[in-house]
Chains A and B, each alone.
Chain A
């Protein structure tokens, strides 16, 4: 176990606790950059998808993990990001560099506006209200057909930055690097948020609204800011998802997607950046693993290809139930336990991480 000897207040402000930690994260980042040289183009496409889901997951994590506000409607904000990004490019002939952040901003403003009335609700009622937003968004896309293309959808043009073209099929590696760069930026902003007053006020609202008020935190405004930041990040993820899917309709950003996002962050580990990535990896890799297993089984059983409809969502559901029952802290929580076990070996105790864990709790006092 490493003991960090702190000699200045900056030790508690820095992004990395010690040099070794910085080294490992840099190594991970370098590995992520070099990934295209290690795996095939198909897998790079999957890795891009992991990053996009992780961005959307981080967006929801700000709200659910950090501020303790449930949302079952984040696909709506992904849709706002995806549609506004393409519409800005088509109708105002904006370059991607401008339309992309503007799309995030549009989603953020939409989130803040919606937050004003609905953050008065708590717990399960907030979840239901956001669920309604997700359903409404789907219908709105169909109703606003002249703008959104309705059920026939919108076609996302290739991303073009200073003459360089990024296309999922044409140059997947460049697209991967672009998404990686955006992911890196968002992780940096997220980390800054966690170590600054705004992140602490999110945690305060999450853990006790009444004492947050007593410490001078404007709870209503903090929740609104949380919604805005959350929807901004999710909107950026949605815009990338639009480009990645190349064509999207009202059904791309449906209720299932909202729930999937929530599942990703719960399975990954609530309240941590790592959680969004772990959850996204599980979600993207699961269909791959299933199809690989199926191929192997086909060879083994020497029979024709068998497809079981709904196998993916079924398996994902089982995994989720397993996590809620046996590891509420998600994959990241499990990883922390394993790491602590080796760090403290042989002094790890079984109940070391045992404590009541309730992010999505109902109110104690109003």
Chain B
């Protein structure tokens, strides 16, 4: 059984078909990448999995069960965490608080016990604090713990957002362009982290990414999309050499982009 399975999913915005009859499955323990030119429907697919959009047709299965009946806030409870393309952190809160929000699905106190700060809440806070510390260690965020997000540089915010998703302790991690806007060194860090997320934490990753170098170095399988339809699916090598992909995504006979991709 695949961890995540999309079956003939179609999504329309009015007359525009954003995602057209797309099917694929993500196996447990792999890194699966979605690539494609702008407007291909990659982020839309992520938004459908995190239930921000509801597909018009088709079904999305997670661990064999349909998640189309779930509300957006139920999705992380199932074990799916995500990051956003345009960083969506809690700006006026510290890095630590942002990561602790990621632990929300593991909180079992209510607002009354919270306001009285019962011993149970205190014990729970310690557990969360420790879990978050592991994420901080993993992503080397130690210097930023108490810093407000509003004062942090872009690259660090990107890492914090990944950390917040990891704090959820998901089974499936959705990364929406984890390397966009990052320097070459930072992108390399992201590549190492994705490897470790897969191997050490055992988390399955589904990511959308434009940087073909990152995609080919970390992902096990790649799916190429264009205009909402599937072009090709397979290993990074297979997809990159697929003539349809070269035509739609890398451009034909140009040579520069395909050279970079290789």
Q: Which residues of A contact B (CB under 8 A)?
A: 9-10, 12-13, 189, 192-193, 195-201, 203-204, 206-208, 210-219, 225, 229, 271, 355-356, 359, 365
Contacts and interface: CB of A to CB of B under 8 A. Distances in A.
B58 interface: no
A282 B211 CA distance: 55
B262 interface: no
A13 B126 contact: yes
A224 to B, nearest CB: 10
B130 A9 contact: yes
Contact of A201 (B84, B104, B125): B104
B88 A208 contact: yes
Contacts of A189: 115-116
B109 interface: yes
A72 B17 CA distance: 42
Contacts of A211: 84, 88-90
A229 B116 CA distance: 13
Interface string B81-119: 110100011111100110011111101011100111100
B101 A201 contact: yes
Contacts of A201: 101, 104
A210 B88 contact: yes
Given A208-B89, A208-B90, A214 B107 contact: no
A214 B117 contact: no
B151 to A, nearest CB: 6
Interface string B193-226: 0000000000000000000000000000000000
Q: Is chain B's binding surface mostly helix, strand, loop or mixed?
A: helix
Given A199-B114, A203-B93, A214 B50 contact: yes
Given A9-B133, A12-B129, A214-B76, A197 B52 contact: no
A336 B29 CA distance: 48
B37 interface: no
B138 to A, nearest CB: 17
Contact of B90 (A13, A195, A204, A359): A204
B114 A216 contact: no
Contact of A200 (B77, B88, B97): B97
B76 to A, nearest CB: 4
Given A203-B101, A208-B88, 6 more contacts: A12-B96, A196-B115, A208-B89, A214-B76, A215-B168, A216-B73
Nearest to B102: A215
Contacts of B117: 192, 195-196
Nearest first, the 9 closest Cβ-Cβ pairs linking A and B are A196-B114, A211-B88, A207-B90, A216-B76, A216-B105, A192-B117, A213-B72, A9-B129, A197-B107
Contacts of B72: 213-214
Interface in B148-176: 148, 150-151, 164, 168
A200 B101 contact: yes
B6 interface: no
